[in-house]
Amino acid sequence: KAQFGGVILRVGGKWTLRGRRTEGCSIVEDFIRLGKMIHSLFMINGSGDVFMEKHWKSVVERNVCDYFFEAQNKASTPDNIPPVITTPHYYLISIYRSNMYFVAAVQQEVAPLFVIEFLHRIMDTFQDYFGACNELEIKEHYVIVYELLEEMLDNGFPLATEINVLKEMIRPPSMLRAAMDSVTGGSHVASTLPTGQLSNVPWRRVGVKYANNETYFDLVEEVHCIVDKSGATIFAEIQGAIEVECKLSGMPDLTLSFMNPRLLDDVSFHPCVRFRRWEAERILSFVPPDGKFRLMSYHISAQNVVALPVYVKPTFSFREGGSGRIDISCGPKQTMGQVVENVVLEVQMPKCVMTVNLASTNAGLYTFDPVSKVLRWEVGKVQLHRPAASLTGSATMQSGSAVPDSNPTSTVQFKLPHVAVSGLKVNRLDIYGEKYKPFKGVKYMTKAGKYQIRA
């Protein structure tokens, strides 16, 4: 079983893939190669300590991570670490989330996105099992973590990555179950095969029953952009996803349609989606997994479609003699009549800046870390028909230091509820195969991704 492509079968000497739109496609070959390539996984905390490792094909010495630490020291931020690092004997493919690095050791060339997607799937599984995916939770549940890794990647081959299947094989931790296991000597691993493991819908277990049937769809979009000092947009794109929480009894068959599906060209679906119907009618038809899952992800890159909800005008001037001037203003731009919440501005100041003396007008508080040289301005809410928030003052530089070659770049964080800036809207949701009438809800949210402002 493979989450990415349904069921891999060998028929007549040929590898085929069931559960997607084609059979015998190259993705199967990539998966077979992927299974042969992943040898080891290293989990590294923010301090650079390897606190857990797992080996499948053979034991890879921990000192291979020295190449990763070398690249980490050269990078200015964790996001700037190369996702693929070449060493004499291995390729190191890594991701960074929750102040942790997951580093996979691969011996031969393989499509890096497969490995990166698999590492994200591991972290998503830990998040679902433990409520949070961090170093403390992983250390507290060492046994379950190793059991999950054994099932998700068996001897290097992707085996089971669907959360519903995993929960039937390995029970999630709870205080009651831990007390019973300590008394009876029981295990987290189930003694029977999951009910959906050999069915046509392995992502959904059999016999699901709820007293209240309901399903919720969260359409979340992240705006990534680069704005130059004149306010012109150099680069802009939207990364969106539809997150679903499904609590429906039986085996429902759902169809979801959009008012403007033409916006969706670059899309990625959960395996439950019938791809042929999407290609023909632009309608999502699927039997949903039970619980929380991501139905689809999409990417919109046309700059004329991307509406930026917030504007920021930063001005920095540094002079010889150890002084500088800072002037930053922030306000709403295209908010569709909604209030922009949790607006936070961060500026990585030059290393020569010792202290800042600033005053905020109309909104927010600021802090400056003299060690990391990060200026953080918590603006709060930004809304129309209100004066723009501003932060002005002076900066004290180290005596004798040269004027910085370039002005710092600002990053912005925000949340815009009830709005999808791409304009994508759900038209209707229909349920077939069951007689009950469930409660259905759709919520929209826009937030900042990598939102950079140059000065």
Structure tokens at 30: 């990539």
Distances in whole angstroms, Cα of residue 341 to Cα of each of 211, 223, 281, 318: 36, 15, 37, 32
Chunked into runs of 10 residues, the chain (455 residues) has average pLDDT values of 40 39 40 62 92 89 93 86 93 93 90 89 91 91 90 78 82 65 56 59 84 95 89 88 94 93 88 92 93 91 71 86 84 84 90 86 84 89 83 85 83 92 91 92 93 88
pLDDT of the residue at 386: 80
Burial 16-39 (b: 16+ CB within 10 A, else e): ebebbeeeeeebbebbeebbbbbb
Cβ neighbors of 190 (< 8 A, separation 6 or more) are 168, 169, 170, 171
Three-state DSSP class for residue 12: coil
Q: Is 293 exposed, middle or buried (0-12, 13-18, 19+ CB in 10 A)?
A: buried
Cβ neighbors of 70 (< 8 A, separation 6 or more) are none
Distances in whole angstroms, Cα of residue 96 to Cα of each of 45, 80, 119, 446: 10, 10, 10, 22
| Helix axes of 142-152 and 112-130: crossing angle, nearest 10 degrees | 140
Long-range contacts at 119-122 (CB < 8 A, ≥ 24 apart): 119/41, 119/93, 119/94, 119/95, 120/95, 121/3, 121/152, 121/161, 122/41, 122/148, 122/149, 122/152
pLDDT of the residue at 182: 54
For the four alpha carbons of 86, 90, 94 and 99, in that order, the dihedral sign comes to negative
Helices (H) and strands (E) in the chain, counts: 8, 25
CB atoms within 10 A of CB 431: 18
Q: Is 271 exposed, middle or buried (0-12, 13-18, 19+ CB in 10 A)?
A: buried
For residue 320, give the DSSP letter. T
